[in-house]
Structure 1
Amino acid sequence: METKMDTLGFGERLRHVQHRVQSLADLGREETHDRLIRVFVELLPKLLHCERCSIFLADPQGDTLGAKYGTGISEGEIEVSDPQSIAGRVAVTGNAVIENHPNRAAPSHHEAEKATGFQLQNILCVPVRSRAMGSEIVGVVEVLNKKGGFDAQDQERLEDLADGLSHAIESVWAQDRLVALGVELSREIATLPDRNRSFIASDPRMIQILDEVEALGPTPASVLITGENGTGKELVARRLHQLSGDPGRPFVAVNCAAIPENLIESEFFGHERGAFTGAEKSKPGFLEMATGGTLFLDEVGEMPLALQAKLLRVLEQKEGRRVGGQRLVHYRFRLLSATNQDLVAKVADGSFREDLYYRLFSVHVTVPPLRERLRDIPLMLERFVAETSEEWQKPISGIAPDLIERFEAYHWPGNVRQLRREAERLVALTPPGESIELNRCSPELKQRPKESSLQIIADGSVSLKEQLRAFEHRIVDATLHHCGGKKSQAARCLGISRQALHTKLKDREESLDY
């Protein structure tokens, strides 16, 4: 059964492909065409839950379809000239075809089966139309063998994807960054059954972290999640809880910084009736409420020292008593903690117990800030705009490429939380049916980033060579922008050859995870 998350992920990936291809449509080389088409071939069966995909491109100098790419088919070209074949009919009429009971004896099917050894069960085929040449048919896309057969919804989805593919075909000369796009999409394809993740991630570092979360989830291991405010630490905790067993079991989230110190013991351990003034009835505490599920201690670094000692005893003995009570209460929960502070430094200055630090967690997961996940920014923006647009019933036609570039250059001190707020602002200020433009951004995002905005990392986690490399990328990007994207002119301004600039651009795409 298809979920809302599945549909959302499908649309995000499609729009991301369209944005990247369209923004590079005036640059590049012809071999990128082949690479991007092959990415589509691998992507479509996973999105449409079928076995194979084939893509035919129209020969602009003849009446044939050629350059066939197919799942599991060795490299090469197959010419299709039979107008009675399914692909031929779609190319001639411009109408999509669904055949859930095709005539396998037809010559075209027989020849294909003989050549590939693949037996056809059902087929969906749609045209690829050019947007620049008056809706002329420039190719066809067919997908094969879906359990239960194809339906009208499959046709609508494939037509949407074919519309995205038309950009690729018209962008034969797209510059070398399309090669990097192919690599990026291939990585996304590897994670396509996204296991109902609540995250958007194409950045290699974040994908590695999420893979660790998927591995940790089914275990009872205690986990400490660190990262700046707004990076999604609680989302990581909730995902770990979902993976640990029955998601209906309790998930008790506690903000340790938000509980008054005089109430914190009764909140954690509970209290009996009459234990103190105002205790008119008995109440279980967080530790008791989490039994059988997960206890999530957010801002654990803010926990008072007195409570730290009591929590350590609970973790070691798995039992305790309510305030004012005599009965021993047994606790059984998985412990997850989160903080934006350096607990090692807090141990050193005496504000966090060393013995609790070593008992608090078995595994440490660090969520990177958004400024270190540049590849994820366009995908997140698309998701947040789509969600807000749907919730507010306010259609948005698209997002301007220069806005996305500015978002990728911004340092995002509020991380994902700030990005979501900005997306909501943009949807609110954009008239219905129009595209989101840069001039509607918050003042801090409208300002062009200065060279000094390059983050300097002095803790040894990033080498001098890597930071100088990132600074060079900023200079190259700024020069290209100044020259209107003209690489020859930009190379002259930088005092390097065009080939050297080409190498630096390729290097930049391969290091976007910095």
Structure 2
Amino acid sequence: MEKKILIVEDESLIAYDLKLILTRAGYKVCGIADSVKEALEIIEEELPDLVLLDIFLKGPLNGIDLAKKLTDKNIAFVYLSANFQESILEKARETQPYGFMLKPFREKELLITLDVAFYRHQNSIESKLRQEQLLETVFKNIVNEPGTWEQKLLKIAVNLQPYIPFDYLTVISYHTGQQFNNGISFLRTGFNEYQVISTASLADMAGLTGDELKALQQKSPPSTQIEFFNAAGLKAMLNHYPVKKIIVNNLKQQSFLNLPLLVSGGLIVSFSFYSRKDNCYSPDHLNLISRLQRSLANAIAIIIPEEQLNTSLRKIEPHETEQVNGNNKTAAFTGIIAKSHQMLTILDHVSIVAPLDTSVLILGESGTGKEQIAKSIHQLSLRKHKPLVVINCAALPASLIESELFGFEKGAFTGAIEKRIGKFEMADQGTIFLDEIGEMPAELQVKLLRVLQEQEIERIGGRGIIKINVRIIAATNRNLEKEVEEGRFRLDLYYRLCVFPVSIPPLRERKEDIPLLVQHFINKFALKISKRITGLSTDALNQLLAYTWPGNVRELEHLIERSILLTDGNIIKEVQLPRFNSLMMVNDATIALDDAVIKTIDENARDHIVNVLKSCNGKINGENGAAEILGLKPSTLHSKLKKLGIKRNDRY
């Protein structure tokens, strides 16, 4: 069956050129529109499989406005634009397009982009169906499992977490036309750890008596609609809901989603999801829970009979903690130490994508733990018993990357004295992790794209095609969108890799994880070095919390290791931080930002690297070299020196 494509383009010459290319390639062009209004009319009549969409169009609405409507209709779309600027891409990216073409474009690039777009769209549809089917099965299984109704209710909440993220969840019951009856709440404290918060506990946190809280509950009308509020919208909504206002203010929540379930006999059980992330909820979440509403209500009706809802909810002990087990997710995240909501969200996303074969692009600064996330994805996948092959694209000379990835035959070039299997063949049936993918030479990006699309390789000097079955995980500390804009990274490869992006926040944005990480590294290195060091002084911890961590977790790890080596007692009383940081704690006082020169991240990184080089007398490689102290590979450090313009004269 021919795939139907609608062209939305206000330049007629470009539109008809596109039509000619598409028709020749076997697609059916079901229409050409030069405005959003005309496009919507054709969409209603033809229902295309994909829309080629110019961003700038005639009339009051532009391509981004139309894209939002296409998303609601679940129609794939690819943007066309002659102005490829990062600001435009940022707005366009929010609509989650399936591709992006820069005018003028070549026929081959267009057809490759369409292949990628159809692949991503189909993958997205299948993923949503799998999500719903999986959750419906999970609900049924939980109903039949042994355990109390409270434990079962918590298990349902935990299984919803990757799809409807929350940091705090309340479940209340009431009859139609009545006020609040009973409730129970769960506060997330770790990846699979939740604290049960009773009504009495909530009153304590708010500094209220039980009667005062009950009076506020009576003034809070039940939320009877499936709805969500983010940021400013949530603040406006709170004026009508005093209890929700207490939750938001005391637990620092910034987004809210409500899911009321009609269980039986007019009884309503309402799930209220809260998140510390602003802009957390979207129409996609509403669509998902709307489709799951019936199966979830059926499960709740069996798990929590009406008489229990009316009595047992009062019996929950305050601050009871539950750890949810029964799966291998926690074990797969053993090497990841985090309790911040940013990192817990990352782990939730990983748990969603890991069982699939979807390509994953891990984004984040150096030292944030991208390789550890890649290992967790592999460990949670169906390929976990097959190889995970890691290759650092920045650590290999450009001339060797192709032979490392694809292998070579004996005699293929001077020095090829025997056949060698490449990394892709080694990873067959398993996973390949391409670290620092942004460093890959442009000519090799084309070959990698073909491998991703065709799932086949050819050794250097080889005479035949070798079929492979690998799952791709890539990572980079570069801004790939900026690299695409400046012509250093292929747009089609970017969209092919970025099917499921995972963006790891830098350590400075999740400082609540620092105490956990510090204790983890102290335990690790104290055991390794055979020292009885148990913790960190308050002053030293304050210094760490005030520092901005340009080297992220890796820098913290090396700092703790050095501090343990230099400590004589049982407590680390001081740490040696770089002096350039404008937020360091000095004499128990923080340097005011007003008195400091605020530098860019690159400027701070440059100063930090220069200081380390000076302390090493310019030594980069080997023990106690700058690369080791900074937690970088020598090749990566050389790349940074070049990028930041650090020359040998700067080092002494």
TM-score using structure 2 length: 0.41
Q: Which residue of 2 aligns with 1:370?
A: 507
Counterpart check, 1:242 vs 2:383:
no
Residue equivalent to 1:451? 592
Higher strand proportion (structure 1 or 2): 2
**1:435 equivalent in alignment to 2:576:** no
- SS state of the match for residue 502, structure 2? strand
Q: Closer, same or farther in 2 for the Cα pair 1:398/1:343, shift >3 Å?
A: closer
1:347 matches 2:484:
yes
Offset at 1:73? 9.6
**CA 1:298 to 1:449, structure 2 compared with 1: closer, same or farther past 3 Å?**
farther
**Paired residues for 1:41-190 under 5 Å:** none
Which amino acid is the alignment partner of residue 403 of structure 2? S
Confirm whether residue 402 of structure 1 aligns to residue 543 of structure 2.
no
- In the alignment, is the contact (CA less than 8 A) between 2:196 and 2:319 conserved in 1? no
Q: Is the 8 A contact 2:197 2:319 kept in 1?
A: no
- Report matched runs for 1:9-48 at 5 Å: none
C-alpha distance after superposition, 1:232-277 (max 9, x if no partner): 1111111101111253311111111121122222111101111111
Specify which of 382, 394, 406 is matched with residue 269 of structure 1.
406
C-alpha deviation, 1:357, in angstroms: 1.3
Given that residues 526 and 533 in structure 2 are in contact (C-alpha distance below 8 angstroms), is that contact kept between their aligned partners in structure 1? yes
State the shift of 1:454 in Å: 10
| Residue-pair matches, total | 296
Q: In the alignment, what sits opposite 2:330?
A: 195
Partner SS state of residue 195, structure 1: helix
Measured at CA, do residues 309 and 186 of structure 1 come closer, stay the same or move farther in structure 2, by a change above 3 Å?
A: farther
Q: CA offsets per residue over residues 424-458 of structure 1, 9 Å max, x none?
A: 01111111x521102x4345366454222798999
Q: In 2 relative to 1, CA 234–379 (structure 1 residues): closer, same or farther, beyond 3 Å? A: same
SS in structure 2 of the partner of residue 359 of structure 1? helix
Query: Which of 413, 423, 429 pairs up with 1:292?
Result: 429
Aligned CA-pair RMSD: 3.9
- Of 221, 234, 255, which aligns to 2:392? 255
Structure 1 residue identity aligned to 2:453: E
Displacement of 1:397 in angstroms is 3.4
Partner-residue secondary structure (3-state), 1:396: coil
Q: 1:209 aligns with which of 330, 341, 346?
A: 346
The 8 Å contact of residues 188 and 202 in structure 1, kept in 2 or not, is answered as no
The amino acid that maps onto 1:413 is P
2:357 counterpart residue number: 220
Query: What is the distance in 2 between the residues matched to 1:215 and 1:454?
Result: 43
Mark the CA change 1:246 to 1:380 in structure 2 (over 3 Å): closer, same or farther.
same
Deviations 1:338-388 (A, max 9, x none): 111111111111111111112123111110000000110001001001111
Bigger RCO of structures 1 and 2 (CA < 8 A, at least 6 apart): 1
Question: Is the 2:383–2:429 contact (alpha carbons within 8 Å) kept by the matching residues of 1?
Answer: no
3-state SS of paired residue (1:364): strand
CA–CA separation in structure 2 for the residues paired with 1:364 and 1:421: 28
| Aligned partners of 1:187 and 1:202 also within 8 Å | no
User: How many Å apart are 1:407 and its aligned residue?
Assistant: 1.0
Sequence identity (%): 41
Partner of 2:475: 338
1:379 equivalent in structure 2: 516
Contact (CA 8 Å) 1:250, 1:289: kept in 2 or not? yes
Cα distance, 1:301–1:273 mapped onto 2, change above 3 Å: same
Q: 1:188 to 1:418 in 2, by over 3 A?
A: farther
Question: 1:393 matched to which residue of 2?
Answer: 530
* Residue 192 of structure 1, CA deviation: 8.0
Per the alignment, in what secondary structure is the counterpart of residue 248 of structure 1?
Answer: coil
Amino acid at match of 1:239: S
Equivalence for 1:50: none
Q: Any stretches of 5+ residues in structure 1 without a counterpart?
A: 1-37, 48-69, 77-178, 459-514
Aligned partner letter, 1:388: F
Conservation of the 8 A alpha-carbon contact between 1:273 and 1:279: yes
Q: Distance in 2 between matches of 1:327 and 1:275?
A: 14
Deviations 1:71-101 (A, max 9, x none): 999969xxxxxxxxxxxxxxxxxxxxxxxxx
Decide whether the 8 Å contact of 2:507 with 2:552 is kept in 1: yes
- What is the match of residue 322 of structure 1? 459
**1:297-355 deviation line (CA, Å, top 9, x unaligned):** 11111111110111111111111211111132111100011111111111111111111
Q: What residue identity is the alignment partner of 1:202? A: K
Displacement of 1:187 in angstroms is 12
Corresponding letter in the other structure for 1:369:
P
**What is the rounded CA distance, in whole Å, between the counterparts of 1:394 and 1:429 in structure 2?**
11
Paired amino acid for 2:576 = C
Give the SS at the match of 1:421: helix
- The Cα offsets for residues 176-210 of structure 1, whole Å up to 9 and x where unpaired, read as xxx879x9998996678861212111111111111
Change (3 A) 1:187 1:275: farther
